[in-house]
Amino acid sequence: MSKHILITGINGLLSQNLVQEFSPDHTISGLDLNPGIFDPNQKIKVTQLDLRNTNELTKHIYATAPDVLIHTAAYTNVDGAEAERDLAFAVNAKIPGDLAKICRDLDIPMIHISTDYVFSGTNGPYNEADLCAPRGSYAESKYAGEQAALDSGARLAVIRPNVMYGHGRNLKSSFVDWLLKELAQGRPVNVVDDQYNNPTYARRLAMVTRQILDRQAWDVWHFGSKEVVSRYTFALICADIFGLPSGLINAISTVELNQKAPRPLRSGLICEKLKQELAIPILSIGEELALLKEEMHAS
């Protein structure tokens, strides 16, 4: 049955992939700070709205009466959050709670996109039941938002990805975008070899989101690739899949970057729950990058 799905931050990477996933058989509308980037024939109605305006946000959701809300919008500048802590909390902590309460009152299911940063990143990879211990303003704000949504009483699924990458239009460069562009131009790059994750391919995350929604699997879920590797090793795999010179990739340590906010070094997400309970296959990094390459060539 066709549903009306409302997506926040609809111009972003994951949201563009959600539009691809859902638009063939569902009605899609979106909220974003910026005008919509979608082709007119996609019939995606985008409303410009600052989600911090709780009154306008509430009025919009009541007026449009969606069947599902998917919340992807977030303040994502990890270092910037150290200087703009109040803004990070206004966006990442307060808005998810506001949305979840609205969804509870209207009996609308909600999917909230969180992050692996809710963990300390000292002893990963982590499963869904592991203790959260966020470090830094961005991480603390995302954890607070996740908890506010979970405590709301709404029908809710929380999905935690990590190091998301993929393909879309008018986007800030993801790590993979940046890496491929630099290597294609023959420029050497420095990549940290002491941060470990199992990166998340946005196209597959959109598919997982649909599976969770279709099965009404209201819970906390982790999703990423099969292997947990260093960012440096991930870069080498990217270079190999895309036929680019891996010799241009230099390994450095996180300390050398002198970043304002702490980074999770030993992170990564265990995805066995998704595999066991929803029968969703967890692919290797190479398999997912091959799918990305195919997607990029097809566009």
Instruction: Say whether pLDDT at 28 is over 90.
Output: yes
Q: For the domain that residue 119 is a member of, what is the CATH number?
A: 3.40.50.720
Is residue 108, in this structure, part of any structural domain at all? yes
How much is the pLDDT for 299?
67
| Burial (0-12, 13-18, 19+ Cβ within 10 Å), 254 | middle
How much is the pLDDT for 41?
81
Instruction: Say whether pLDDT at 70 is over 80.
Output: yes
Instruction: Say whether pLDDT at 215 is over 90.
Output: yes
Is residue 172 very low, low, confident or very high in pLDDT (cuts 50, 70, 90)? confident
pLDDT in tens, 241-252: 999 999 999 999
- Nearest CA to 110 out of 189, 209, 181 is that of 209
Is residue 255, in this structure, part of any structural domain at all? no
| Burial (0-12, 13-18, 19+ Cβ within 10 Å), 2 | exposed
How much is the pLDDT for 173?
81
Q: What are the structure tokens assigned to 68, written together?
A: 């599902």
Residues 6+ apart with CB under 8 A from 227: 198, 284, 285
Mean pLDDT for the stretch of residues 59-78: 98
Is residue 261, in this structure, part of any structural domain at all? no
Question: What is the C-alpha to C-alpha distance for residues 225 and 200, in angstroms, rounded to an integer?
Answer: 6
Indicate the range of 17-26, 134-143, 165-174 predicted with least confidence.
165-174
Mean pLDDT for the stretch of residues 153-170: 96
| Domains of the chain: total | 1
In contact, 285 and 223? CB cutoff 8 Å: no
Is residue 66 very low, low, confident or very high in pLDDT (cuts 50, 70, 90)? very high
Is residue 182, in this structure, part of any structural domain at all? no
List the domain range (segments joined by +) for residue 211. 4-166+200-224
Is residue 125, in this structure, part of any structural domain at all? yes
Q: Does the CA dihedral 227-231-235-238 come out positive or negative?
A: positive
Instruction: Say whether pLDDT at 93 is over 80.
Output: yes
- What pTM did the predictor assign? 0.97
Is residue 195, in this structure, part of any structural domain at all? no
